[in-house]
Structure 1
Amino acid sequence: MNQSVIKALKLLDYFTEDTPEWTLKEIAIRAELPKPTAYRLLTSLEYCGFLRKIKQSEHDSRYQLGVKLLELGHRVADQIEIRKIAKPFMEQLGERLNEAIHLVTVEGGQAIYIDKVDSHRALRLCTKVGKRSPLYSGSGPKLLLAHLQEDEQATVLQTISHPFIDSSRVKAELKLIKEQGFALSEGEQDVDTTGVSYPIYDYQHSVVAAIAVSGLTSRFEGDNLLRIQEETRKTAQQISSALGYQIN
């Protein structure tokens, strides 16, 4: 573990409702840190937006919590809200298809699986809630990547280091996903598995998550694949409507 990061984040715990402001000297004393160390940690937190410094005089500055924490809090609240709303629809879809259903969002430049409904089959996918994945691998992550801004896409594509994944091919695939409205992947995260994903929109017409159905490739063929796609598409629409999305 990075002890400097841990020490810096622990300083945020001192900012409470009763004591919302601290000076450098006060923090150094409270945290039992040398003043230069406390200054370095506070400056790093300020640079990242977790704290903001209010200069009251030439020799006195006070620190308060920054707006970055509010932004992160909203993200957490949004994820909780999406999970709460999406869960019953995911369970209904799982009963109809008897395949694994995932809810995927973007966080920190990666895809994160924030909820899951298991199938009742003997052979199941072992995806865990909280799993992180590159945005260029799997139907859910790629669908989310396809709906990011071009500069954000370019940043992600530059991080591809896999010897068998070509960024230009992924870029072309993202364009196709955006045009057709869904993503399909085969064997990208697990061998002999297929995934189908559709976007979930919020009231601002922004893609906030992907609903992904995954299972053995042998079950994702022909008419059954068409059925899976249609059921997943309808479920994505239902969740979007519940989030306030309205088609113009």
Structure 2
Amino acid sequence: MNQSVIKALRLLDLFSESELELTLNEIAERAGMPKPTVFRLLSSLEHMGFLSKSKNSTHDVRYQLGLKLLELGGLVADSLELRKSSLPHMQLLQSEINEAVHLVIRDGDEAIYIEKVESNRALRLYTRVGRRSALYLGSGPQLLLAYMPDKEREEIIDKMQFHRVAENTIMSKEDLREKINNIQDQGYSFSNGEQDSETIGISYPIYDHTGQVIAALNVSGPTTRLQGAYKESVQIKTKETAVKISNDLGFISDSYGGKYREKSV
């Protein structure tokens, strides 16, 4: 474990509701660390926005928790609320189709699977909550990329390095942009053997009350099962479920799943 990181996080734990501000001396004494070490750690935390500093005088400098923690706390709260709202609908969808159902969100330049309801079939996929994926891999990550603001999406694509992980993995920026155009036209994302071999993924967007896409609802299963009329039925039920989750989050629109239009931000 990285001891510097652990020491820095221990300093954050020293703040409380009753002690919102602490001086360098107070922090060093309570942490049991030398003042030069504490000053170096505090400077790093301040630089990253985890702490802020008020200077009342040359000899009265106080530290308090920074706004970065509020931002991260808001992201955690949003994620928890999204999972809470989505899980009952995901469980109902899984009971109807008996395929794996996932909830996928974007985290920086990656996608992360934050919820899953497993299939109880003998032949099923191995995925887990917390799994991370490049945004070019699979229907859920690709959908999040497609519904990103145009400028931000292009900045991410420009930095991408492609690695083949399955038979049909997208391996070029040109192919990825073509796939994104298809997703935007269709209002959903479909993949076949791109992230996991012989696996189909179907994903629909989940909107929040502002009309922003905040997650992808994904159903995945073996290619041998997701075919023909059954695949079409799964697709319809997945879309209906994504609409219900979006409505629970306050999204109201008659044009769900229509052609993508970049929202002003």
Structure 1 residue 69 corresponds to structure 2 residue 69: yes
Q: State whether structure 2 residue 250 is matched by structure 1 residue 244.
A: yes
Structure 1 residue aligned with 2:88: 88
Structure 1: gaps (5+ residues): none
The corresponding residue for 1:167 is 173
For residue 182 of structure 1, the aligned residue among 180, 188, 193 is 188
Cα drift, residue 184 of structure 1? 0.8
What is aligned with 1:225? 231
Q: Partners in 2 of 1:211 and 1:126 — Cα distance?
A: 17
When structure 1 is superposed on structure 2, of 51-60 and 164-173 the one drifting more is 164-173
Structure-2 separation of matches of 1:20 and 1:129 = 35
User: Where do residues 110-125 of structure 1 align in structure 2 (5 Å cutoff)?
Assistant: 110-125=110-125
SS of match in other structure, 2:209: coil
Question: What is the deviation of 1:202?
Answer: 0.8
- With over 3 angstroms needed to count, the CA separation of the structure-2 counterparts of 1:38 and 1:154, relative to structure 1, is farther
Q: Which has the higher helix share?
A: 1
Please report how far the alpha carbon of residue 35 of structure 1 lies from its aligned counterpart in structure 2 after TM superposition.
Answer: 2.1
Runs of 4+ with deviation above 6 angstroms: none
- Alignment deviations for residues 106-146 of structure 1 (CA, whole Å, 9 cap, x no partner): 12332111111111210111111111111111111111111
Please report the TM-score for the alignment, with normalisation by the length of structure 1. Answer: 0.94
Q: Secondary structure of 1:18's match?
A: coil
2:217 to 211, 222, 243: 211
Q: Which residue of 2 aligns with 1:102?
A: 102
The AA in structure 2 aligned to 1:172 is E
CA distance in 2, matches of 1:57, 1:168: 58
- How much does 1:167 deviate? 2.0
Letter paired with 1:243: L
Q: Does 1:194 align with 2:175?
A: no
Taking the aligned partners of 1:99 and 1:223, their CA distance within structure 2 comes to 15
Distance 1:163 1:241, change over 3 A: closer
Change (3 A) 1:11 1:105: same
Aligned length: 248
What residue is the counterpart of 2:139 in the other structure?
A: 139
State the shift of 1:163 in Å.
4.6
Report what 1:27 is aligned to: 27
Residue 52 (structure 1) aligned with residue 58 (structure 2): no
1:181 deviation in Å?
Answer: 0.8
Q: In angstroms, what is the RMSD of aligned CA positions?
A: 1.6
* TM-score with structure 2 setting the length: 0.88
CA distance in 1, matches of 2:126, 2:43: 42
In structure 2, stretches of 5+ residues that fail to align are 165-170, 255-265
1:240 Cα offset (Å) = 0.4
Match of 1:200, SS state, is strand
**Which amino acid letter does the alignment assign opposite residue 147 of structure 1?**
Y
- Structure 1 counterpart SS, 2:13: helix
Q: What per-residue deviation string (whole Å, max 9, x for no partner) do you get for residues 43-102 of structure 1? A: 111121111111111232111111111111111111111111111111111111111000
Percent identity between the aligned chains? Answer: 52
